[in-house]
Amino acid sequence: MDNKFSIFNPTEEHQMLRDMVAGFVKEEVEPQALEYDRDEKFNLELMRKLGSLGLLGITADDKFGGSGMDATAAVIAHEELSYSDPGFCLAYLAHSMLLVNNFSVNAGVDLKSKYLPGMSDGSFIGAMAMSEPDAGTDVLGMTTTAELKGDKYILNGRKMWITNGCLDDNGTPADGVLVYAVTGKESSGRPQITTFFVKKDFKGFSVGQKIMDKLGMRGSNTAELVFENCEVPLGYRMGEEGDSLVHMMKNLEIERLTLAAMGLGIARRSLDAMVSYSNEREAFGKPIHKFGQIQRYIADSYAEYMAAKAYVYNTALGMGPEGSGDRKDSDGVKLVATTMSKNVADRAIQVLGGYGYVGEYVVERLWRDAKLLEIGGGTLEAHQKNITNDLIRDL
Ligand SMILES: Cc1cc2nc3c(=O)[nH]c(=O)nc-3n(C[C@H](O)[C@H](O)[C@H](O)COP(=O)(O)OP(=O)(O)OC[C@H]3O[C@@H](n4cnc5c(N)ncnc54)[C@H](O)[C@@H]3O)c2cc1C
């Protein structure tokens, strides 16, 4: 590594992390990606291995088995994993960011000492369940309820689209899920939302279905979860009643930042694919990169990728697991880097012609995977709404 400061690898530790993840990706992630996408399977064993590399609890509290690293480290891990397999990376994100980072920032010492070590070493794989069949962007429209009865909460409702919600095709649930549920009304009249940590063996909790036939991200499992008089002991409430909005706020920035980082991995891989193909493929007696239209695909992609990359890493700079307290740029990077990645993958397909349209050449999978980034973790329209509201508020 040269000594020049770079926001992409601000410290030697970041550079070492990048090299380590890139090496693992080449050896272990790349060889399985095509098969797991084609068969719509989640590679649980590979996921567990990320624990021994310190990646599952990458930003988690190091007093409880986490790696205690910053948001830049999380961005590096997501960018490198997505270079080969965004579907697998989405499962990694759902565990390491939606569950583990959230849990590490927001859970009390009792829950953390009991579960964070397993979440970090890969023996405990989990998920986060906010979305419902009838409420996604409109989070406060959720209808899953939790009612305190004695020393237990009774949860009723359904959660939809939950990444890692099941671990296989037989409906085996994740080891534990952070679940958001309505516990009453705030004094303002708004629904009061509370977070619960539901373990797989809690009575009344089950997997409704594994959602099949997804366009992309097929290397991750997506499930519907069912809570039918599900019994959750009081000690498994995370924080106090009504704390969910704070939990969401503290976790949202790093969630969106790492989803944007996934876009960077997709774009870099697509760019690499189109550059090398355009150098090898000849038409009309010359390599196709000699054609101006192909040059435009390549050069526009490079410049757009670099612009998004600078924005993502600049936003990550110095950010801790709780974010920065200002969501504008985490919404902003997701708005920019996700669509950029879809466009770059699209151009890569075009540059590869017929070959770009089949699985073996990877870019069609990246294009399918990229589309999810415009929806999951907040739709493009939600980011547009948030950024505009915040800019108007700050006038
Ligand atoms: C593969 C996959 C994995 C996922 N993983 C998880 C997970 O692990 N955990 C989890 O909780 N959720 C997960 N989700 C759910 C995801 O976060 C939601 O799909 C997303 O938030 C959008 O919600 P929705 O699908 O209900 O769409 P809706 O919110 O119903 O939106 C439909 C359309 O209306 C638009 N819209 C809605 N409100 C507005 C508005 N105010 N202004 C303008 N336009 C608006 C939306 O932008 C969108 O275009 C996942 C989804 C998928 C597909």
CATH number at residue 351: 1.20.140.10
Residue 278 included in any domain: yes
381 lines ligand 1 (CB under 6 A): yes
The best mutation among 95, 125, 161 to test binding of ligand 1, ranked by most ligand atoms within 8 Å of the C-beta, falls on 161
Residue 1 included in any domain: no
Spatial neighbors of 45 by CB under 8 A, at least 6 apart, are: none
In ligand 1, the atom with minimum distance to the C-alpha of 134 is: 26
CB atoms within 10 A of CB 322: 17
Q: Over the stretch 142-200, which tens digit does the pLDDT of each residue have?
A: 999 999 999 999 999 999 999 999 999 999 999 999 999 999 999 999 999 999 999 99
pLDDT of residue 288: 98
217 lines ligand 1 (CB under 6 A): yes
Same domain flag for 141 and 233: yes
Mean of pLDDT over the chain: 97
68 lines ligand 1 (CB under 6 A): no
pLDDT of residue 19: 98
Same domain flag for 368 and 276: yes
CA distance 61 to 42: 27
In ligand 1, the atom with minimum distance to the C-alpha of 180 is: 11
Helices 328-352 and 292-316 pack at an angle, to 10 degrees, of 160
C-alpha distance from residue 102 to each of 163, 213, 334 (Å): 15, 29, 19
Q: Over the stretch 69-115, which tens digit does the pLDDT of each residue have?
A: 999 999 999 999 999 999 999 999 999 999 999 999 999 999 999 99
Residue 328 included in any domain: yes
Same domain flag for 37 and 164: no
Least confident range of 79-88, 294-303, 313-322, 331-340: 313-322
Q: Over the stretch 320-331, which tens digit does the pLDDT of each residue have?
A: 999 998 899 999
Contact 51, 122 (CB under 8 A): yes
How far the first Cα of the chain sits from its last, in Å, is: 43
Residue at a domain's end among 216, 243, 270: 243
CA distance 306 to 10: 17
Quote the ligand 1 centre to 282 CA distance (angstroms).
43
CA distance 89 to 271: 19
Domain residues for the domain of 389 are 245-393
Q: Which residue in 40, 79, 80, 255 is the catalytic one?
A: 255
The best mutation among 373, 379, 387 to test binding of ligand 1, ranked by most ligand atoms within 8 Å of the C-beta, falls on 379
Q: CA-based angle 367:344:327, to the nearest 5?
A: 90
Least confident range of 212-216, 312-316, 317-321: 317-321
Mean pLDDT of all residues in 206-218: 98
Task: Please compute Rg for the chain using Cα positions.
Answer: 21
Residue spans of alpha helices (H) in 172-243? none
Q: What is the 3-state secondary structure (H, E, C) of 2-55?
A: CCCCCCCCCCHHHHHHHHHHHHHHHHHHHHHHHHHHHCCCCCHHHHHHHHHCCC
Q: CATH no. for residue 48?
A: 1.10.540.10
Same domain flag for 54 and 144: no
Residue 334 included in any domain: yes
Q: Indicate the DSSP class of residue 1.
A: -
Same domain flag for 382 and 257: yes
Q: Over the stretch 128-140, which tens digit does the pLDDT of each residue have?
A: 999 999 999 999 9
142 lines ligand 1 (CB under 6 A): no
pLDDT of residue 205: 98
384 lines ligand 1 (CB under 6 A): no
Residue 2 included in any domain: no
Q: 255 catalytic, yes or no?
A: yes
Tell me which residue of 177, 83, 163 sits closest to 124, measured CA to CA. 177
Quote the ligand 1 centre to 218 CA distance (angstroms).
18
The best mutation among 160, 256, 375, 388 to test binding of ligand 1, ranked by most ligand atoms within 8 Å of the C-beta, falls on 375
Same domain flag for 361 and 309: yes
Residue 4 included in any domain: no
Residue at a domain's end among 197, 217, 243: 243
In ligand 1, the atom with minimum distance to the C-alpha of 137 is: 29
Tell me which residue of 387, 389, 383 sits closest to 339, measured CA to CA. 383
**pLDDT-derived band of residue 1, with 50, 70 and 90 as boundaries?**
very low
CA distance 324 to 313: 14
Same domain flag for 116 and 148: no
Quote the ligand 1 centre to 281 CA distance (angstroms).
40
C-alpha distance from residue 112 to each of 61, 67, 129, 344 (Å): 9, 14, 19, 41
> Which contacts (CB < 8 Å, 24+ apart) does range 134-139 have?
136/160, 136/161, 136/379, 137/378, 137/379, 137/381, 137/382, 139/180, 139/193, 139/248
Same domain flag for 372 and 259: yes
Q: Going by CA atoms, what residue is nearest to atom 7 of ligand 1?
A: 162
Q: Indicate the DSSP class of residue 193.
A: E
Q: CA-based angle 31:34:36, to the nearest 5?
A: 95
Q: CA-based angle 225:226:230, to the nearest 5?
A: 125
In ligand 1, the atom with minimum distance to the C-alpha of 163 is: 8
Contact 150, 101 (CB under 8 A): no
Contact 155, 179 (CB under 8 A): yes
Same domain flag for 162 and 292: no
134 lines ligand 1 (CB under 6 A): no
Residue at a domain's end among 125, 154, 189: 125
pTM, whole model, 2 decimals? 0.98
Q: CATH no. for residue 175?
A: 2.40.110.10
Quote the ligand 1 centre to 381 CA distance (angstroms).
10
In ligand 1, the atom with minimum distance to the C-alpha of 377 is: 17
Same domain flag for 148 and 224: yes
In ligand 1, the atom with minimum distance to the C-alpha of 98 is: 8
Residue 373 included in any domain: yes
Same domain flag for 73 and 188: no
Q: Going by CA atoms, what residue is nearest to atom 41 of ligand 1?
A: 382
CA distance 289 to 351: 9
- In the chain, the number of structural domains is 3
126 lines ligand 1 (CB under 6 A): no
CA distance 56 to 49: 9
Residue 335 included in any domain: yes
Same domain flag for 256 and 345: yes
Token pair for 34: 């095509």
Quote the ligand 1 centre to 65 CA distance (angstroms).
33
pLDDT of residue 2: 56
The best mutation among 131, 222, 255, 262 to test binding of ligand 1, ranked by most ligand atoms within 8 Å of the C-beta, falls on 131
Q: CA-based angle 89:226:373, to the nearest 5?
A: 25
Q: Is 173 helix (H, G, I), strand (E, B) or coil?
A: strand
CA distance 81 to 107: 27
Q: Over the stretch 223-279, which tens digit does the pLDDT of each residue have?
A: 999 999 999 999 999 999 999 999 999 999 999 999 999 999 999 999 999 999 999
